[in-house]
Structure 1
Amino acid sequence: MRLVIARCTVDYDGRLTAHLPSALRLLLVKADGSVSVHADDRAYKPLNWMSPPCWLTEEPRASGAAGAPESRWTVRNKADETLTITLEEIQHDSTHELGVDPGLVKDGVEAHLQELLAAHVTTLGEGWSLVRREYPTAIGPVDLLCRDDSGGSVAVEIKRRGEIDGVEQLTRYLELLNRDPLLAPVSGVFAAQQIKPQARTLATDRGIRCVTLDYETLRGAEVDEFRLF
């Protein structure tokens, strides 16, 4: 991960246009290629960002160009959207190797939900089948990788409470999985006992289906498997 603290302006050009005037900000460039721009507020949410797959081109200041910016970053994705970051003054620039993250350790309820849904994957649709639990990716395991009734690949992320960060997590998985020609196209399902309205809105905007899980019903299905009559 590369961390840069710089006074900069930011311009986005894509489905709409946006401009951030000059201010001191934190720029994050992650190993997955994503670039995000942060202020010293808004919790984890960036002011602007570009998700992978995207490509960063850095143009350094021309030698002897007094008063010119330190550098200009142009980030472009496959949809030809661009994020242009003009760095006027760099106060910090460092790179750190974080290694592969083991992923979020789920609590007992989430772990059991994953186990139950894997055993009863037709809860998500008739004719569905399980490919694998904890399907590995470079940024952590996908809870469930399934096939729908038409044979299409589906990545399922399971939460006890569905929030925006869970949708973002599934989005990153989908971006990676869709690079695999043996799996693509891969659709997504965000499954939780409760899904917050903001998370549902974001998921819908990204073409991710939301499913509300009934824990007691799934547990009842598990019990029914062991009944003789």
Structure 2
Amino acid sequence: MRVVIASCSVDYSGRLDAHLPPARRLIMVKADGSVLVHSDGGSYKPLNWMSPPARLTEVEPDEEDLEVGVTARWEVRAAKSDDRLVIRLFEIVSDSSVDLGVDPGLTKDGVEAHLQELLADQPDVLGAGWHTVRREHPTPIGPVDLLVRDADGGSWAVEVKRVGGIDGVEQLTRYLNMLERDPLLAPVRGIFAAQTIKPQARVLAEDRGIRCVVLDYDAMRGLDDPGSRLF
């Protein structure tokens, strides 16, 4: 990544035209070809940018640029459109390049794997006397998150999501169709469990006889203190 702090102006042309007058800004040039121009405010959102794939070319300032004090000119062109970003540099305060290497990616707290693990350890969230049979129970079309049994020995397939949408309901429906063919498990009912379930997904699930369960992640981790609640 190349990080430049400079006094610059920026002109964008493409689907719309935009202009940033001269000011001191942060310019980030990433290895994927993206270029982002930031101010000292506005949180994470850049003032202007070019998404990858793009190509940055440093060109000599023309006579008009030199007359207003431009010392360098960058042109960033999109690979798949006519969009163009022109950055005119008046004064470079800092210019450094660092190889950041391969990023391992973001690990989110409360993602589906964590919810699945917590629910497998606490099947009583689904009902008294319930127990977990297996995590990642295999089916011919992929593993269902949890296979559990209720207090009466009935089989339930549980699909766990952080945000439950229609796609998750469709996924669970396919698993149930496969599990119903196993005489050792049938009949198998379904539970769609998530921290948040979208209204359309709830309607579809309940229409198909699938039970919806909203998971309280903090409570399952033991972080929710009922004594601190106002209501």
TM-score by length of 2: 0.50
Post-superposition offset of 1:59:
2.0
**DSSP-derived class of the 2:111 partner:** helix
Q: 1:37-116 residue pairs with structure 2 within 5 A?
A: 37-60=37-60, 68-77=69-78, 78-111=80-113
Q: Deviations over 1:31-60 (max 9, x none)?
A: 101000001111111000001111101125
Number of the residue aligned with 1:228? 186
**Partners of 1:99 and 1:212 in 2: CA distance:** 37
Post-superposition offset of 1:228:
2.6
Number of the residue aligned with 2:15? 15
Post-superposition offset of 1:108:
4.3
The one-letter amino acid of 1:106's match is K
Q: Deviations over 1:169-203 (max 9, x none)?
A: xxxxxxxxxxxxxxxxxxxxxxx44xxxxxxxxxx
**Partners of 1:41 and 1:100 in 2: CA distance:** 28
Q: Matched residues, percent identical?
A: 55
**Partners of 1:212 and 1:6 in 2: CA distance:** 48
Computing the radius of gyration over CA atoms, which structure comes out larger, 1 or 2? Answer: 2
Q: Deviations over 1:72-97 (max 9, x none)?
A: 11000120110000011100000001
Coordinate RMSD, CA, aligned: 3.6
Q: Deviations over 1:100-155 (max 9, x none)?
A: 001111334333689xxxx8xxxxxxxxx88xxxxxxxxxxxxxxxxxxxxxxxxx
Q: Tell me how many residue pairs correspond in the alignment.
A: 137
The one-letter amino acid of 2:16's match is L
**Partners of 1:212 and 1:8 in 2: CA distance:** 47
Per the alignment, do residues 47 and 74 of structure 1 end up closer, same or farther by CA in structure 2, a change over 3 Å counting? same
**DSSP-derived class of the 1:111 partner:** helix
Number of the residue aligned with 1:5? 5
**Partners of 1:3 and 1:38 in 2: CA distance:** 11
**Partners of 2:44 and 2:103 in 1: CA distance:** 18
**Partners of 1:54 and 1:28 in 2: CA distance:** 13
**Partners of 1:212 and 1:44 in 2: CA distance:** 31
Indicate if the aligned counterparts of 1:61 and 1:68 stay in contact, CA closer than 8 A: no
The one-letter amino acid of 1:24's match is R
**Partners of 1:8 and 1:228 in 2: CA distance:** 68
Post-superposition offset of 1:27:
0.1
TM-score by length of 1: 0.50
Per the alignment, do residues 103 and 42 of structure 1 end up closer, same or farther by CA in structure 2, a change over 3 Å counting? same
Indicate if the aligned counterparts of 1:57 and 1:74 stay in contact, CA closer than 8 A: yes
Indicate if the aligned counterparts of 1:5 and 1:24 stay in contact, CA closer than 8 A: yes
The one-letter amino acid of 1:42's match is G
Per the alignment, do residues 112 and 7 of structure 1 end up closer, same or farther by CA in structure 2, a change over 3 Å counting? same
Residue ranges of structure 2 left out of the alignment (5+ in a row): 117-135, 143-160, 188-231
